[in-house]
Chain A
Amino acid sequence: MKRALPVLVLSIAGLIPVWRHAPSHETAATSPTHAASSAPSAGSVVVAGTTVDTEKGRVQVEVTFRDRRITAVRMLRQPDHPQTTAAVPQLVEETLRAQSADIDTVSGATVTSDGYKKSLQAAIDVRRA
């Protein structure tokens, strides 16, 4: 093996409750398990995600939305473990970037025509056609 692979915890990505491609009627804090706190500024909504048990301990994130876009992610609870304390915020940051990026194309097997119709790639093809 030519180099070491840093191990991060992806499951945090699933904690971010709203995706910007979601239909417009889906707004932040739709799930009763999410405790929405007060909006700090006009147009922004702050949502606390559910607490999730991971191998390294309990994790909870708080996400700030503005017009269904994620504008900030903050760790409310993270395991006190040297590996995750370093890795988890980095992944949250990465996921935040991934969701808000204006991408050109998508990698990930789109095998069927039905799968394609519903895919992000199809949305990109239509948008730029």
Chain B
Amino acid sequence: MRRVEHVMGFPVSLRVDDPDVPEEAADAAFAWLREVDARFSPFRPGSEVSRLERGEVPRVSAELAEVLGLCEEYRVATGGAFDVRLPGRGLDPCAVVKGWSVQRAAGLLRAAGARRFCLNAGGDVVAAGGPWKVGVRHPEHAGRLCAVLRLTDGAVATSARYERGDHIVDGRTGLPATGLLSLTVVAPTLTEADAVATAAFAMGAEGVAWAAAREGCEVFAVDAGRRVLRTAGLPVAA
């Protein structure tokens, strides 16, 4: 089964190799992602995040509480470099919501019987029942790869300056993070991989070592001087 849908403003590609998994399983995964978009997008005035920001939510939902808890955890862990509440801007938990919600979508697929699948949400990947070969986009050439990773069960997320330009801000300075061209994290879950990739990117060059020191995380990074830094345990495809 193969599906591609645009949700939350990016393409989500799903491939399920188990023949007995019904289309309804994919329907449910995409429905969850659309629900997340409606509830947690800061760009939708009626979302829970927007209403919270306007002081209209007396009690946040369990899911939003979980997301905000994760945001706070990464803010503290990065010394404030990763911050979903930047001065002069509204609450924007997108960086955590994406990985967290796609990991949950993968959980829905697994619960529906999927064993071998690959879910790619705007370049962030959850893979199960591999081996899967995951190419890492070259930071300067959209059509090229700079590495190929081999994943059995796990997640890969990449933060980079391409396409959206300098969109990740270092919360400590309020300035765009420019120390790295691209940073890829391999982790057991996309919740961790995506948040760590974004947080480390916000930290700049020092973020590489920070991400590498996280339990269960492997890192492939290209710094502003085009040097490649990677952890010894990075699962490079043979």
Residues of A within 8 A of B (CB): 1-11, 13-14, 19, 21-22, 55, 91, 94-95, 97-99, 101-113, 115-116, 118-122, 124-125, 128-129
Contacts and interface: CB of A to CB of B under 8 A. Distances in A.
B144 A13 contact: yes
Nearest to A123: B143
Given A7-B229, A121-B13, A125-B2, A110 B135 contact: no
B29 interface: no
Contacts of A105: 13, 15, 118, 120, 125, 127, 132-135
Interface string B200-238: 000000001100110000010010011111111100110
Contact of A118 (B142, B184, B232): B142
Contact of A110 (B122, B146, B232): B122
B122 A55 contact: no
Q: Is the interface of B mostly helix, strand, loop or mixed?
A: strand
15 contacts: A5-B230, A6-B232, A8-B227, A8-B228, A99-B144, A101-B148, A109-B10, A110-B122, A111-B122, A111-B163, A111-B164, A116-B6, A116-B11, A121-B120, A125-B4
Interface in B114-133: 118, 120, 122-125, 127, 132-133
B87 to A, nearest CB: 24
Interface in B54-87: none
Contacts, number: 165
A121 B140 contact: no
Contact of B145 (A9, A55, A98, A122): A98
Nearest to B145: A98
A95 B212 contact: no
B143 A21 contact: yes
B228 A110 contact: no
Q: Which of A4, A13, A115 has the most CB of B within 10 A?
A: A13
A3 B231 contact: yes
Contacts of A121: 11, 13, 120, 123
B136 interface: yes
Interface of B: 2, 4, 6, 9-11, 13, 15, 118, 120, 122-125, 127, 132-138, 140-149, 156-160, 162-164, 182, 184, 208-209, 212-213, 219, 222, 225-233, 236-237
B231 A98 contact: no
A109 B122 contact: yes
Contacts of B236: 94
A5 B209 contact: yes
A14 B145 contact: no
A2 B227 contact: no
B157 to A, nearest CB: 7
